[in-house]
């Protein structure tokens, strides 16, 4: 005969273990992210000691160090940290909400929508950075609205959304190629450098909108973490638990698209970060928890780590998007093979 008390204690112990694991892993990720931030500040053509970096950041005039630390390294580090966090959170939201590891903003075409709008502003309108950022957000939102409307039919379909998203990505990539072909020679280099995903030329003026968006929207997503976990159970189950599925899905989608669009406008589409962050977080923490924060931290770690590799591991310096693409492509192939073996494709 079952003992309800012992079963209740067993459940409580399991919950406590998951909480302790979440706290432990998240704390380690924070420490690792902070260490990479310091590496971004310390390393370069000149390696500065910690005390020099601190004094320079505090405003003390240090000959030869202020420009390198305050103008180049600090904006680059901040941009990499917040853009990686944004990519990681948005990717995790989409993968969890749509219950499919392929359902991330890169593959669904949302990033391509932001990129197409930004490239149009860069090579055709010659717009300022502020206009490019706004256009990227609008382009991402329009893309996801079109996808969402086309995927509804009589009812919302995840499979239909993914197929439409892949088609949108192909179409938008063709638009980007057309825009580049029609652009003047002096604009091509800038557009291609932006499309590769890069932290080169980062500035605090460009990073501030990204920082504000991440700081404002992250608490919103964290508060919706429980509802997100319910959406993962399916619409019928989530509705029976009291979740307004359409309203919740639209809120999460808009928040994620705004976050990833502003990150894309700031750094360009850094490949595979949104694709990798969620699965890594679930593997480290477990899928029973809301892993929004760990996924964001892993996204930040991937961008910072890849940028350090791109700057210092090779004879030539590579944009961060090239390194993340090299890291992410094998995982995509592995995932497609595994899904095909399970009959999910």
207 versus 63: which is more confidently predicted?
Answer: 207
Q: How confident is the model over 115-163, as pLDDT tens digits?
A: 888 888 888 887 777 787 788 888 888 888 888 788 776 666 677 777 8
pLDDT of res. 41: 93
Q: What is the C-alpha R_g of the chain? A: 21
Contact 259, 126 (CB under 8 A): no
208 versus 127: which is more confidently predicted?
Answer: 208
178 versus 188: which is more confidently predicted?
Answer: 178
Closest by CA position to 199, among listed 105, 116, 310, 57: 310
288 versus 128: which is more confidently predicted?
Answer: 128
Per-residue pLDDT band for 293 (boundaries 50, 70, 90) equals very high
Contact 272, 330 (CB under 8 A): no
pLDDT of res. 344: 56
Return d(Cα 245, Cα 171) in angstroms, integer.
Answer: 29
| Per-residue tokens: 154 | 């009589």
11 pLDDT more than 80: no
| Per-residue tokens: 236 | 């019928």
Percent of the chain with pLDDT over 90: 21
7 pLDDT more than 60: no
Domain ranges of the chain: 79-341
pLDDT of res. 5: 58
For range 16-27, the mean pLDDT: 88
Closest by CA position to 90, among listed 114, 113, 70, 106: 106
Among the CATH numbers 1.10.357.10, 2.40.70.10, 3.30.300.20, 1.10.3470.10, which is that of 79-341? 1.10.3470.10
pLDDT of res. 288: 62
pLDDT of res. 193: 64
pLDDT of res. 8: 63
* Burial (CB count <10 Å: 0-12, 13-18, 19+), residue 286: middle
Per-residue pLDDT band for 213 (boundaries 50, 70, 90) equals very high
249 versus 222: which is more confidently predicted?
Answer: 222
Contacts of residue 318, defined as CB under 8 A and 6 or more positions apart, other chains included, come to 310
Longest dimension (CA), the chain: 79
SS3 for 300?
helix
pLDDT of res. 153: 64
Q: How confident is the model over 231-244, as pLDDT tens digits?
A: 776 667 777 767 77
């Amino acid at each position: 005969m079952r003992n309800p008390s012992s079963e209740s204690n067993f459940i409580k112990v399991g919950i406590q273990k998951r909480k302790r694991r979440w706290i432990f892993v998240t704390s380690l990720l924070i420490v690792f992210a902070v260490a990479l931030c310091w590496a971004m500040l310390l390393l370069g053509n000149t390696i500065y000691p910690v005390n020099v970096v601190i004094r320079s950041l505090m405003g003390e005039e240090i000959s030869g160090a202020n420009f390198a630390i305050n103008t180049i390294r600090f904006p680059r580090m901040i941009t990499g940290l917040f853009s990686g966090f944004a990519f990681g959170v948005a990717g995790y939201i989409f993968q969890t909400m749509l219950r499919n590891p392929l359902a991330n903003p890169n593959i669904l075409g949302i990033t391509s929508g932001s990129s197409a709008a930004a490239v149009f502003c860069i090579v055709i309108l010659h717009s300022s950075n502020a206009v490019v950022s706004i256009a990227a957000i609008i382009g991402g939102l329009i893309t996801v609205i079109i996808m969402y409307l086309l995927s509804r039919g009589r009812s919302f379909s995840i499979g239909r959304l993914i197929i439409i998203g892949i088609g949108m990505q192909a179409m938008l990539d063709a638009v980007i190629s057309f825009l580049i072909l029609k652009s003047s020679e002096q604009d091509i280099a800038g557009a291609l450098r932006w499309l590769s995903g890069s932290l080169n030329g980062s500035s605090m003026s460009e990073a501030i909108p990204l920082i504000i968006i991440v700081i404002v929207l992250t608490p919103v997503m964290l508060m919706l973490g429980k509802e997100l976990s319910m959406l993962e159970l399916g619409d019928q189950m989530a509705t029976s638990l009291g979740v307004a599925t359409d309203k919740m899905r639209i809120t999460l989608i808009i928040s994620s698209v705004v976050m990833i669009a502003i990150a894309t406008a700031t750094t360009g589409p850094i490949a595979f970060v949104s694709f990798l962050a969620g699965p890594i977080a679930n593997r480290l923490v477990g899928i029973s928890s809301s892993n929004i924060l760990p996924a964001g931290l892993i996204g930040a770690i991937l961008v910072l780590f890849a940028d350090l590799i791109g700057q210092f591991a090779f004879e030539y310096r590579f944009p961060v998007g090239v390194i993340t693409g090299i890291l992410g492509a094998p995982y995509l192939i592995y995932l497609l093979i595994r899904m095909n073996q399970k009959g999910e494709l």
